[in-house]
Amino acid sequence: MNPFIQILAGWAILAVLMTGLWEWQRRRKNAAVVDVAWTAGVGALGVFFALNADGYPPRQWLVATLAAIWSLRLAGHLIRRVRGEREDGRYRALREKWGARTQLYLFFFFQIQAFWSVLFALPMMLAAWNPRPAWGVLDALGILIWMVSVAGEAVADRQLAGFRANPAHQGEVCRRGLWRYSRHPNYFFEWLHWWAWFLIGLPGPGGWWGLAGPAVMLLFLLKITGVPPTEAQALKSRGEAYREYQRTTSVLIPWPPKKKGF
């Protein structure tokens, strides 16, 4: 199938699904479901693109499998959060900011997420279109990075979930495990994950375009949907404790924390 037709078809299907989920959140008052939809959408498109690519078949199946595992793991984690917690503070803040226009703006926000799902599935498509009829060093390096990143993000998510589950930690800042070395280790490993697709697809046609995956993800995490709203909410709920955390702990890349007062 022509890749452009695949992209348009994927975008159209996700646009319809996002419309249905927008209606779901309108009834349930929980817009965080869009995070689940984005993750599942990227994974589903990654599998679809990979299995319909014109590359080396074993690599196509590898990309489809890795995309599915990444998506199922992260979507499952997000589903548990949506079902077990109140709406994420980022979306509650948007409701307060948008007021009477909230549902209109959320509709467009959900549709933008459909577009972003297609955008972030493209590096998976490029990886699957790599036609080299043998495994190479870049394939091995990409698989290694994928394993480290998915495992690291799962550990970070589990550590934070365990911390939040303890009522004694109400209002405190998680500094345990990976969270001692990064304020957002889950975001770091998510960003690292996108380098895997770039490396696997690099020898193929247009492989260098796969660099857009980690580049755009870094932009989103540091400037748009990741760190800024998350930290704004953390400062609102934890105040000076979180400001101290900001002063001593790396924002993204895990690094030994600074001593207080420095």
pLDDT in tens, the chain (262 residues): 788 999 999 999 999 999 999 999 999 889 999 999 999 999 999 999 999 999 999 999 999 999 999 999 999 999 998 887 788 888 888 898 999 999 999 999 999 999 999 999 999 999 999 999 999 999 999 999 999 999 999 999 999 999 999 999 988 999 999 999 999 999 999 999 999 999 999 999 999 999 999 999 999 999 988 899 999 989 988 999 999 999 999 999 999 998 765 4
pLDDT for the residue numbered 194 = 97
CA–CA dist 130, 210 (Å, integer): 11
Is residue 129 a contact partner of residue 204, using CB atoms and an 8 Å limit?
yes
CA–CA dist 5, 1 (Å, integer): 7
CA–CA dist 246, 260 (Å, integer): 11
Give Cβ neighbours of residue 32 (< 8 Å, ≥ 6 apart): 78, 81, 82, 87, 88, 91
CA–CA dist 73, 71 (Å, integer): 6
pLDDT for the residue numbered 261 = 52
CA–CA dist 14, 115 (Å, integer): 8
DSSP string, the chain: --HHHHHHHHHHHHHHHHHHHHHHHHHHT-TTHHHHHHHHHHHHHHHHHHHT-SS-HHHHHHHHHHHHHHHHHHHHHHHHHHHHSPPPHHHHHHHHHHGGGHHHHHHHHHHHHHHHHHHHHHHHHHHHT---SS--HHHHHHHHHHHHHHHHHHHHHHHHHHHHH-GGGTTPPP-SGGGGT-S-HHHHHHHHHHHHHHHHHTTSTTGGGGGHHHHHHHHIIIIISSHHHHHHHHHHHHTHHHHHHHHHS-SSS--PPPPTT-
Tokens, residue 46: 């990654």
